[in-house]
Amino acid sequence: MASLNNPHVTRRRRIGVAAAAAGLLAALLTAGPAAATPEPGDTPAKRQGVSASQQEEVREAIRSGETPGVDEIVHSKNVEHLANIPKDALKGLNTDLAFQGKYAFAGNYDGFRIFDISNPKKPKTVTQVLCPGSQNDISVSGNLVFLSTDSSRSDNSCSSTTQPATEKSSWEGMKIFDISDIRNPKYVAAVETACGSHTHTLVPERKNVYVYVSSYAPLAAYPDCQPPHDGISIIKVPRKAPQKAAVVDFPVLFPGGGNPGGGPANPDLSETTGCHDITVLPSKDLAAGACMGDGILFSIKDPEKPKVIDRVQDNVNFAFWHSATFNERADKVVFTDELGGGSGATCNAEVGPKRGANGIYEIKGHGDKRRLAFKSYFKIPRHQADTENCVAHNSSLIPVPGRDIMVQAWYQGGVSFWDFTDSSNPKEIGYFERGPLSTTTLSTAGSWSAYYYNGHVYSNDIAKGFDVLRINDRRTDPAKWFHQRELNVQTQPDYL
């Protein structure tokens, strides 16, 4: 059996396994987990029991070799596991990633951690910042780091505590840090946004950074999150005066209402009450939004006035439109479906290959007449145990000229490399994963984000920490020639 200390083990898994605030600590020594309550689309912190028969199925799958052992690392022959840095002071759930120069910025429900990745085989912690808040989705632009807070807090400080959203004084939204001194980030601004900030997307300009804030799940009892919540908050941040950051608009994306959700054909389908995530392609003035029950394509020629140009639904197979990725030529969009909010064991024969998967759409037409046309689904071809949360999650394009290849996180389904150059016949070309965290409970774990950055893949595992991978494959080798100074995956660069 392989261990974390012996990661270079390859074993194929067979298809068909049974179903600016007080309290900011820039150099952190100890921290307790944030008492954040995940909302739909989050991964819950609780462990869920599974039946005795399911437990036995998991154990039998491990004995037979169909499933890796607990915490055992397996990967395809073309993938190397170079490093793992376990959690340290920040004990919450690891979340998203961003990159700048030789640094990786890793979100965590308790704050964020900065790594020096100049030697990808030996990442080093630069600093850890304690600033609890659900999600802590993270981005970086110039000297500024942006952090999403999507849990109701007592105030906007980094020493805040949880407080009911029914109280008007509660706060959630965007936090902004200055990283001019990379070892000592300085909290410089906070902007409250309606329904908080589940995720955010940067639209950077020379003088300003626009922040598209995605949030959802309004309730009449919440003073700062009132229905209908059918749009996004737009924050304008002056680079030279980030303390002046403010909401400049709340454009309505669904003036006639979004998908009502539910229905006999798909009771898991989410009602659209906002967006979960947005990816922008600034070079093309284009954006794609994953908005719970809807997928949208919109123009961002005027970053303060985004304009929806097409909208699609999948009321049979998609449950929760989670995120979006453009291909290199911007004539395709891959939308992900986070069936079960990331908490379910949905990578099995019972759920099947079309639910909790990716939907590949081609973009037809030009300008404001562009339309999204569905082509196919993609889901990892390796069934997971009933104690493994697994579903499509965060991904990035691998910049290979003339081909459409992505790397993607699947929670405990691991990291998948897959090719969708042929939109109708996508296929996996490599993978990395760990065995289940437990054989008795469905536990929150696995890769939250897996992104390609300057020759390597970096994964933020919810439970196990920061992983570094490398793929050695003729199909992806050309990407090694493409280097960038900064990467926020939801602000997609022009690879051409």
pLDDT over 60 (residue 54):
yes
Percent of the chain with pLDDT over 90: 85
What average pLDDT does this structure show over 295-299?
98
Residue 376 identity: S
What average pLDDT does this structure show over 14-23?
30
pLDDT over 60 (residue 20):
no
Q: How many CA atoms lie within 13 A of 47 on its CB side?
A: 11
Looking at residue 326, its pLDDT comes to 98
pLDDT digits (tens, 9 = 90+) for 327-357: 999 999 999 999 999 999 999 999 999 999 9
Looking at residue 61, its pLDDT comes to 77
Phi, psi at residue 93, to the nearest 5°?
-70, 130
Distance in angstroms (rounded) separating the CA atoms of residues 83 and 440: 28
Let me know the angle formed at the C-alpha of 37 by 31 and 41, rounded to the nearest 5 degrees: 115
Distance in angstroms (rounded) separating the CA atoms of residues 457 and 476: 12
Kind plus residue range of the DSSP H or E element containing 64: helix 52-64
pLDDT over 70 (residue 30):
no
Looking at residue 46, its pLDDT comes to 58
Domains of the chain, start order: 48-487 (2.130.10.10)
pLDDT over 50 (residue 280):
yes
* Res. 204 pLDDT band, cuts 50 70 90: very high
pLDDT over 60 (residue 364):
yes
Which structure tokens are listed for 126? 């630069």
Report yes or no: 128 and 27 within 8 Å, Cβ to Cβ.
yes
Kind plus residue range of the DSSP H or E element containing 226: none
Looking at residue 419, its pLDDT comes to 98
Report yes or no: 211 and 144 within 8 Å, Cβ to Cβ.
no
* Res. 21 pLDDT band, cuts 50 70 90: very low
Distance in angstroms (rounded) separating the CA atoms of residues 312 and 315: 10
Looking at residue 47, its pLDDT comes to 66
pLDDT digits (tens, 9 = 90+) for 105-161: 999 999 999 999 999 999 999 999 999 999 999 999 999 999 999 999 999 999 999
Report yes or no: 42 and 134 within 8 Å, Cβ to Cβ.
yes
Does a cis peptide bond (omega within 30 degrees of 0) precede residue 242? no
Residue 192 exposed, middle or buried by CB count within 10 Å (0-12, 13-18, 19+): middle
Report yes or no: 93 and 444 within 8 Å, Cβ to Cβ.
yes
Percent of the chain with pLDDT over 70: 91
Report yes or no: 113 and 461 within 8 Å, Cβ to Cβ.
no
Distance in angstroms (rounded) separating the CA atoms of residues 152 and 170: 6
* Res. 27 pLDDT band, cuts 50 70 90: very low
Distance in angstroms (rounded) separating the CA atoms of residues 190 and 246: 9
pLDDT over 70 (residue 39):
no
Which DSSP state fits 287? Answer: E
Which structure tokens are listed for 424? 């109708």
Looking at residue 263, its pLDDT comes to 87
